[in-house]
Amino acid sequence: MVSRVIPVDTFDLVIFGGTGDLARRKILPGLFRRYCAGQMPPEAQIIGAARSEMTDDEYRAFVREAVDEFGSTPHEPGQFDAFLGRVGYQRVDAKGSDGWEDLGARLRDDAVRAFYFSVGPALFGDLAERLRTFGLATQDTRIVVEKPFGHDLQSARALNRELAEHFNEGQIYRIDHYLGKETVQNLMAVRFGNMLFEPLWNAQHVDHIQITVAETVGVGGRGGYYDKSGAMRDMIQNHLMQLLCLIAMEPPARFEPDSVRDEKLKVIRALDPVEPHHVVRGQYAADENQPGYRAHVEDPRSTTESFVALKAHISNWRWAGTPFYLRTGKMLRARTSEIAVVFKDAPHSIFGAEAGRHRNMLAIRLQPNEGMTLDVTIKEPGPGGMRLVDVPLDMSFADALGPDGADMPDAYERLIMDVIRGNQTLFMRGDEVEAAWAWTDPIIESWARRGDVPKPYDPGGSGPDDALMLMHRDGRRWRDIKA
Ligand code: NAP
């Protein structure tokens, strides 16, 4: 299979927070990989910007180290130096006036201009304002804003208003890196590129849908940030919500930014408020090998959740009656993200009760081993009557697509290239983010009102028992969390 890399237009990309963790881990290595893939034009310019004092050469050394540590790619001799030749650094203070004019002098009029706000959200408004004040924002300038986009509906609205004072919606790229994952986009290809699934993709044929995003790590060094956020804000409101939207939305008329985002918004707005007894919160406990959640955060009595499982309902014609079970947590048995569409039983079994109960299930793995499995019921081989067995039709994308499948661009690199191309399809619109908060806020408020304390769970397991009960009560069970 031949990979088609279409080079983007020449650009000036300024990374505010260019010395930060996200830039080191994701943005800079991703840009290098796109450079090696031939997608970045040779005249492109990348400028790191932060308060630290650094020369261009010092920043290049910083970039080289980051790429070596977090994801280089096979490249020709001299290619790394050529890439670094496109990199520079400008000291700026988001809250002051230092450096802004010098930054402006580095930018070209005939290049696409993009500013990546890879800094804490408290600085988004300051940056947007200074880009205007110092005349760095042109008609066509794009800004990229990182998560978290707000802490609740009120703060998300305030942030949207603040950005809207300086940029129009078509210039604002709100990142949810889940949308940049190859398999997440594949959800749309699978649903709307095949005739096979869509006729069955509704409450008449689907018993329920499970979405699981499990991590093996705890909060580690992010305890300070995480304790103010928790799994509901950090994962459900954005990443799992986006997966839910893509699984549940109506077919957009076209694969275009507003067509897709309009359909996603309709899903969020059709979500019923969640009943308190349909949500389970958990917090990982200590075991003999490691301390528990509370040892990683400042407050030894913290009631922030590191795990959430919930049952959601979408009140529309397609999904009325089909529950969506969402589950995410830290310190679980395996690192895995998966969506399972569990179909209903056949209406009548011609094989009798002894053939057992069998169901088709489509599992879409987002990580690891991106791919799909379709469970199909067949006859168990051998003599002695008709016994049925479910076998998986297993497709790993890396196997099926050959070397191109194995070498899929990381979410960040794909999304940055989309910013340069001016394609907002895989970015969240302001109203979408607000609608997601409007659904999430009452759940969080009800915990506070009721003084809810998360259930402790053992590290390395699948979360609190109550999460299992959430499904068992409905005569269903979660799929195993396994890599
Ligand atoms: P970080 O490591 O703390 O880096 C912050 C960056 O901002 C540094 O480069 C810092 O450099 C710069 N900075 C701070 N104050 C500034 C100011 N007044 N003017 C100009 N620059 C300033 O943070 P991060 O982990 O990279 O996260 C950046 C953003 O990405 C945050 O919104 C975070 O929530 C989001 N995010 C991060 C990750 C991740 O894996 N790290 C994942 C998802 C989302 P100086 O101190 O030199 O100014």
Please report whether residue 191 resides in a domain. yes
- Residue partners of 106: CB distance under 8 A and separation at least 6: 12, 45, 47, 88, 90
Instruction: Look at ligand 1, atom 10, and give the residue with the nearest C-alpha.
Output: 17
Could you tell me if the CB of 121 is within 6 A of ligand 1? yes
Please report the atom of ligand 1 found closest to the CA of residue 121.
Answer: 32
- Claim to verify: residue 389 and residue 291 sit in the same structural domain: yes
| Most ligand 1 atoms within 8 A of CB, residue of 53, 119, 127 to mutate | 119
352: left (phi over 0), alpha (psi -120 to 50) or beta: left
Beta carbons of 228 and 344 less than 8 angstroms apart: no
Residue 371: predicted pLDDT: 85
Give the Å distance between the CA of 104 and the centre of ligand 1: 21
Residue 404: predicted pLDDT: 57
- Claim to verify: residue 295 and residue 375 sit in the same structural domain: yes
Could you tell me if the CB of 119 is within 6 A of ligand 1? yes
- Residue partners of 417: CB distance under 8 A and separation at least 6: 8, 34, 39, 409
Could you tell me if the CB of 50 is within 6 A of ligand 1? yes
Beta carbons of 210 and 340 less than 8 angstroms apart: yes
Please report the atom of ligand 1 found closest to the CA of residue 50.
Answer: 21
Beta carbons of 213 and 345 less than 8 angstroms apart: no
Instruction: Look at ligand 1, atom 48, and give the residue with the nearest C-alpha.
Output: 51
Beta carbons of 444 and 152 less than 8 angstroms apart: yes
| Most ligand 1 atoms within 8 A of CB, residue of 16, 27, 51 to mutate | 51
Is 278 catalytic? The answer is no
- Claim to verify: residue 200 and residue 241 sit in the same structural domain: yes
Please report whether residue 316 resides in a domain. yes
- Claim to verify: residue 113 and residue 222 sit in the same structural domain: no
Please report the atom of ligand 1 found closest to the CA of residue 95.
Answer: 18
Which residues sit in the known binding site for NADP(+)?
17-24, 51, 147
Please report the atom of ligand 1 found closest to the CA of residue 48.
Answer: 9
Please report whether residue 414 resides in a domain. no
- Claim to verify: residue 134 and residue 211 sit in the same structural domain: no
| Per-residue CA distances from 227 to 245, 310, 327 (Å) | 27, 20, 19
Q: How much is the pTM?
A: 0.94
442-478 residue pLDDT tens:
999 999 999 999 999 999 999 999 999 999 999 999 9
Enter the tokens of residue 174: 């709100």
Residue 422: predicted pLDDT: 96
Summary mean pLDDT of the chain? 93
Please report whether residue 119 resides in a domain. yes
Which amino acid type is present at position 457? Y
Could you tell me if the CB of 120 is within 6 A of ligand 1? yes
- Claim to verify: residue 329 and residue 215 sit in the same structural domain: yes
166-202 residue pLDDT tens:
999 999 999 999 999 888 888 999 999 999 999 999 9
Structural domain total, the chain: 2
| Chain-centre distance for alpha carbon 31 | 19
Which residues sit in the known binding site?
17-24, 51, 147, 177, 181, 215, 234, 330
Instruction: Look at ligand 1, atom 18, and give the residue with the nearest C-alpha.
Output: 94
> Which entry of 208, 239, 296, 313 is annotated as an active-site residue?
239
Please report whether residue 217 resides in a domain. yes
CATH code (residue 98):
3.40.50.720
Task: Return the percentage of the chain with pLDDT > 70, whole number.
Answer: 97
Could you give the CA distance from residue 8 to residue 243 in angstroms, rounded to a whole number?
Answer: 28
Give the Å distance between the CA of 16 and the centre of ligand 1: 8
Question: What strands, in cross-sheet order, belong to the sheet with 172-174?
Answer: 87-91, 45-50, 11-16, 112-117, 142-145, 172-174
Mapping DSSP onto H, E and C, the string for the chain reads CCCCCCCCCCEEEEEECCCCHHHHHHHHHHHHHHHHCCCCCCCCEEEEEECCCCCHHHHHHHHHHHHHHHCCCCCCCCHHHHHHCCEEEEECCCCCCCCHHHHHHHCCCCCEEEEEECCCHHHHHHHHHHHHHCCCCCCCCEEEECCCCCCCHHHHHHHHHHHHCCCCHHHEEECCHHHHCHHHHHHHHHHHHCCCCHHHCCCCCEEEEEEEEECCCCCHHHHHHHHCCHHHHHHHHHHHHHHHHHHHCCCCCCCCHHHHHHHHHHHHHHECCCCHHHEEEEEECCCCCCCCHHHHCCCCCCCCCCEEEEEECECCCCCCCCCEEEEEECCECCCEEEEEEEECCCCCCCCCHHHCCCCCEEEEEEECCCEEEEEEEEECCCCCCCCEEEEEEEEEHHHHHHHHHHCCCCHHHHHHHHHHHCCCCCCECHHHHHHHHHHHHHHHHHHHHHCCCCEEECCCECCCHHHHHHHHCCCCCCCCCCC
- Residue partners of 353: CB distance under 8 A and separation at least 6: none
- Claim to verify: residue 221 and residue 127 sit in the same structural domain: no
Domain, as residue range, for 353: 179-409+429-472
Could you tell me if the CB of 20 is within 6 A of ligand 1? yes
Please report whether residue 186 resides in a domain. yes
- Claim to verify: residue 220 and residue 126 sit in the same structural domain: no
Please report the atom of ligand 1 found closest to the CA of residue 24.
Answer: 26
Please report whether residue 151 resides in a domain. no
Classify burial at 456, counting beta carbons within 10 Å of its beta carbon; exposed 0-12, middle 13-18, buried 19 or more: middle
Residue 405: predicted pLDDT: 54
Nearest Cα to Cα of residue 130 among 88, 154, 108, 162: 162
Give Dmax over CA atoms of the chain in angstroms: 83
Give the Å distance between the CA of 22 and the centre of ligand 1: 7
- Claim to verify: residue 369 and residue 292 sit in the same structural domain: yes
Please report whether residue 39 resides in a domain. yes
Could you tell me if the CB of 452 is within 6 A of ligand 1? no
Domain boundary pick from 121, 146, 171: 146
Could you tell me if the CB of 95 is within 6 A of ligand 1? yes
Instruction: Look at ligand 1, atom 1, and give the residue with the nearest C-alpha.
Output: 20
Residue 402: predicted pLDDT: 64
- Claim to verify: residue 197 and residue 132 sit in the same structural domain: no
Could you tell me if the CB of 147 is within 6 A of ligand 1? yes
Per-10-residue mean pLDDT, the chain, length 483: 77 98 96 93 96 97 94 82 97 96 96 97 96 95 95 97 97 95 87 94 98 95 91 97 98 95 98 96 94 93 97 98 98 96 92 84 89 90 84 80 64 95 96 98 96 96 97 96 86
Could you give the CA distance from residue 247 to residue 323 in angstroms, rounded to a whole number?
Answer: 13
Enter the tokens of residue 42: 């040779």
- Claim to verify: residue 192 and residue 92 sit in the same structural domain: no
- Claim to verify: residue 397 and residue 263 sit in the same structural domain: yes
Give the Å distance between the CA of 20 and the centre of ligand 1: 5
What phi and psi, each to the nearest 5 degrees, are found at residue 311? -115, 125
Please report the atom of ligand 1 found closest to the CA of residue 96.
Answer: 18
What phi and psi, each to the nearest 5 degrees, are found at residue 147? -80, 160
Domain boundary pick from 126, 146, 166: 146
CATH code (residue 384):
3.30.360.10
